[in-house]
């Protein structure tokens, strides 16, 4: 079945609210609210650097077809505009950016490539993980992201979740992985205190009794 022809064609301007940098491009789509901001190289790098929340797209003009759309882009995005230090376009307009179909194909290729890298290149996985973690830490530090802690008021784990937690703890808390490994409680009736020590230290506490007393009379 042939793809449905894109019925909406418009010229847009995407602006970085932090520094005023802008990008002018063309887009053909079925959905006005598809969230498309542009595919320019400088624009994509800027979005990765500052965060998508600081970019806003505004529609400049609508057109009947893509041919007229590209003509208008060629007129506006000219050599003079490219000299503007705020302009993120790298080339004159009229050549056309990626169509929605091509963007979809590119996305699928990128997803396949990343899947192969995740499965075969441990160094790439570690480097990417460090990069993402660093970007998140910086975003929290700058206040662009806020840590939201889960609210457990009035909530509790299901029985199946409790069992999963118990099963994991039964593995991770075995032997020397257990925080209580080779330790014991002792107490002193005269001092009326409990103390946790290493088992091999018991002889260092003469007069103490092994165990833990909850109440001293």
- pLDDT tens per residue, range 73-97: 999 999 999 999 999 999 998 875 5
Asked which of 37, 62, 97 is the last residue of a domain, the reply is 97
* 47-61, 98-112, 198-212: which is most confident: 47-61
Q: Verify that 26 and 79 share a domain, yes or no.
A: yes
Q: Within a domain: residue 171?
A: no
Determine which of 3-7, 51-55, 106-110 has the lowest per-residue pLDDT on average.
3-7
What is the extent of the structural domain holding 75? 8-97
Query: Per the domain annotation, does 120 fall within a domain?
Result: yes
> Residue 20's pLDDT band (boundaries 50, 70, 90)?
very high
**How many other CB atoms sit within 10 Å of the CB of residue 89?**
22
Flag whether 45 is in a domain.
Answer: yes
Confidence class for position 204, pLDDT limits 50, 70, 90 = confident
> Please, are residues 192 and 214 in contact by the beta-carbon 8 Å criterion?
no
Q: Give the pLDDT score at 32.
A: 85
How far CA 18 is from CA of 13, 21, 82, 118, 150, in Å, comes to 15, 8, 20, 34, 31
Residue 166 lies in a domain: no
> Does the global pTM surpass 0.75?
no
Is residue 10 within 8 Å of 27, Cβ to Cβ? Answer: yes
Q: Which of 124, 146, 168 is the last residue of a domain?
A: 146
Q: Which of 97, 124, 157 is the last residue of a domain?
A: 97
- 43-57, 80-94, 118-132, 161-175: which range is least confident on average? 161-175
């Amino acid at each position: 079945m042939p793809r449905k022809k894109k019925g909406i064609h418009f010229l847009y301007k995407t602006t970085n609210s932090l520094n005023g940098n802008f990008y002018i491009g063309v887009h053909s789509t079925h959905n006005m609210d598809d969230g498309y901001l542009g595919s320019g190289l400088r624009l994509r790098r800027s979005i990765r650097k500052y965060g998508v929340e600081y970019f806003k797209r505004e529609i400049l003009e609508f057109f009947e077809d893509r041919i007229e759309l590209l003509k208008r882009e060629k007129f506006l995005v000219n050599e003079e505009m490219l000299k503007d230090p705020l302009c993120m376009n790298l080339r004159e307009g009229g050549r056309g950016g990626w169509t929605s179909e091509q963007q979809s194909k590119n996305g699928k290729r990128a997803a396949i490539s990343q899947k192969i890298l995740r499965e075969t290149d441990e160094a790439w996985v570690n480097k990417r993980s460090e990069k993402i973690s660093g970007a998140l830490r910086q975003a929290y530090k700058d206040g662009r992201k806020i840590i939201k802690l889960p609210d457990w008021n009035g909530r509790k784990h299901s029985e199946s979740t409790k069992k999963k937690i118990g099963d994991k703890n039964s593995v991770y808390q075995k032997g020397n992985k257990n925080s209580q490994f080779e330790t014991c409680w002792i107490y002193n009736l005269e001092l009326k205190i409990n103390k946790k020590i290493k088992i091999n230290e018991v002889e260092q506490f003469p007069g103490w009794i092994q165990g833990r007393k909850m109440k001293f009379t």
